[in-house]
Chains A and B, each alone.
Chain A
Amino acid sequence: MRYEAPRSLKSAVALMAGARGSAHILAGGTDLLVRMRSGYAEPDLIVDIKHIDGMKSVVAEKGGWRIGAAVSGAEIGEHKGLCRAWPGVVEAANLIGSTQIQGRATMTGNLCNASPAADSVPALVAAGATVRIAGPKGRRDVAVEKVPTGPGKTSLKKGEIIASVFLPKRPARSGDAYLRFTPRSEMDIAVVGVGVSLSVNTKGVCTAARVALGAVAPTVLLVEPAARALVGTTLDETALEALAAACSKACRPIDDKRGTVEYRIRVAGVLARRAALIAYERAGGRK
């Protein structure tokens, strides 16, 4: 195995594109090293991207925020601007693992690991985030929900690296929230995760919404009927019922060691209601 720590994105891409055998990006390493230890990953090449300019920074861009691929969860949680603009995304990023994991784990890694249960992904999808991908053929911007294609699989091509996540400008009177269910209060993988982002008008009527579910299908789900259930309402009981029903209906979960099909379907609706109310309050809709 070879360990490389290039100083530029270009050389990182060149290393990844030219690699023979299995090549892995290392940012936080909190998934990769676990997989190496268990023998699931046996890299021939590891490219540590933390020494590349911009990978460890959060910068304002067009009213939104560009977050480098190697920015850790703890750094996101400590960033006042991000906390103000996208509290739901920050909450989701901060739910990944323990304090120790937070010191290393990145949202980009969470996305590229392509676990259906990744915490930050539903929140990013709800927020309408995009990623910037650098590759041998140049760079492209892609919606977050287009990245994972199945458990452990992404749409990234050989040599491609996600360089940053972009959170757009938060519209006025908007709020987002992420809730997940885990058996323990910490140190757990989501059995169900729900990200909600919505905007309201001055009368508290929801004007736009995005609802995303995690851990209930092979990839994150952007549930449009759930969003439609909210738009045009003040999140009254009928709207919340419709939201819960839409979320439960969208689920295509499996039975596994972490939860049952029945349970995931049920709790997706419960959490969606709760997350929507938090987002609504944050948007200034009150309740």
Chain B
Amino acid sequence: MTRIHVSTTVNGDATEFLCEPDETLLDVLRERLGLTGTKEGCGTGDCGACSVTIDGRLVCSCLVLAAEVAGCEVATIEGMADGDRLHPLQQKFLDHAALQCGICTPGFLVAAKALLDRNPDPTETEVRYWLAGNLCRCTGYDKIVRAVMDAAKEMRRA
């Protein structure tokens, strides 16, 4: 296989990498770029642990070929906080104890941010359906939904 050279933007930084043609974006983020905050829970798009945005659109990075992101803007969990200032969603996840083991947390945060970027005032039902592609086995989702609703409220005030 001939490797492909890809120029892209990751979390605002111009980034280049070489990848195999069949390598996924998830594998490149984790194995080549050292961004291991994006997790693999299933590799088949069923758990949402690998959620990232590409040009603002929420996707499972396990279902994207790395070669496809040439010229795109990729955003991962590592780019969510502003320096040492947590994003309100990150802070609310901590305040509400919305994580237990924490493996699904990056995916939930990236997905929840994509929701609030579009809909600053979601109902509980909208939050639950938007996040239905993110599996959490520890929390029963209760505290996650509360954290997202509370973060939305705070962001509307700001």
Residues in chain A within 8 A of chain B (CB atoms): 1-3, 5, 26, 28-30, 33-34, 36-38, 43, 46, 48, 50, 72, 74, 97-101, 103-104, 185-187
Contacts and interface: CB of A to CB of B under 8 A. Distances in A.
Nearest to B131: A99
A1 B59 contact: no
A96 B93 CA distance: 29
A74 B57 contact: yes
Interface in B48-83: 48, 51, 54, 57-60, 62-65, 67-68, 70
B21 A3 contact: yes
Contacts of A29: 63-65, 68
Given A3-B67, A26-B65, A34-B44, A100 B60 contact: yes
A2 B4 CA distance: 9
Interface of B: 1-2, 4, 20-22, 24, 43-46, 48, 51, 54, 57-60, 62-65, 67-68, 70, 111, 114-115, 129-134
7 contacts: A2-B21, A28-B63, A30-B60, A97-B133, A100-B133, A186-B133, A187-B132
A36 B21 CA distance: 12
A22 to B, nearest CB: 12
Given A185-B132, A186-B129, A187-B132, A100 B111 contact: yes
Nearest to B24: A33
Contacts of A37: 43-44, 62
Given A3-B67, A104-B64, A99 B132 contact: yes
A186 B132 contact: yes
A48 B24 CA distance: 14
B141 to A, nearest CB: 12
B111 A99 contact: yes
Contacts of A33: 24, 45, 62-65
A43 B21 CA distance: 11
A98 B45 contact: yes
A74 B58 CA distance: 10
A98 B65 contact: no
A283 to B, nearest CB: 26
A235 to B, nearest CB: 29
B4 A30 contact: no
A103 B45 contact: no
Contacts of B62: 33, 37
A46 B22 CA distance: 9
A100 B58 contact: yes
A3 B2 CA distance: 10
Given A34-B63, A104-B59, A186-B132, A1 B46 contact: no
A187 B60 CA distance: 13
